[in-house]
Amino acid sequence: MGSTTSGALLFRAALGEVLRAERMRRGLTLRQLSAEARVSLGYISEIERGQKEASSELLAALCEALDCPLSEVLREVSERVELAEITSRVQEAVDLAGGPGVVAAA
């Protein structure tokens, strides 16, 4: 899997996690959010599970229904993606060095 593909999957999963967390924090069910945002319940569920992409218009409708600024959602997603990228780079460096616990010769 290429970095562009993995990056897209990472973004999609992070966006779903953030939207689900915000919905639950506000005590809304999928059905309530669906009615408020005028988006099908199934589609919102797929977005929350990272299985579908959300268009900018759909994302704006969800954020409006959640009474949450789009910039806040995107900032949280960006922070999660950045953390995952850093973690991945650190893991790659550990793997290249021979794994955890390997001490370099002096």
CB–CB of 48/55 below 8 Å? Answer: no
Instruction: With a cut of 50, say whether residue 49 has pLDDT above it.
Output: yes
Tens of pLDDT, residue by residue over 75-92, are 999 999 999 889 988 988
Question: Is the pLDDT confidence value at 57 over 50?
Answer: yes
Mean pLDDT of all residues in 29-41: 98
Strand intervals (E) in 29-96: none
- SS3 of 67-78: the string is CCCHHHHHHHHH
Domain ranges of the chain: 3-94
Structure confidence at residue 93 (pLDDT): 86
pLDDT over threshold 50, residue 53: yes
Question: Mean per-residue pLDDT for 4-14?
Answer: 82
Question: Cα(95)–Cα(42) distance, rounded to whole angstroms?
Answer: 40
Q: Per the structure block, which two tokens stand in for 34?
A: 């669906």
pLDDT of residue 55: 95
Question: Is the separation of the CB atoms in 16 and 43 below 8 Å?
Answer: no
CATH architecture of structural domain 3-94: Orthogonal Bundle (1.10)
Q: Give which of 5, 66, 98, 4 is closest to 48, Cα–Cα.
A: 66
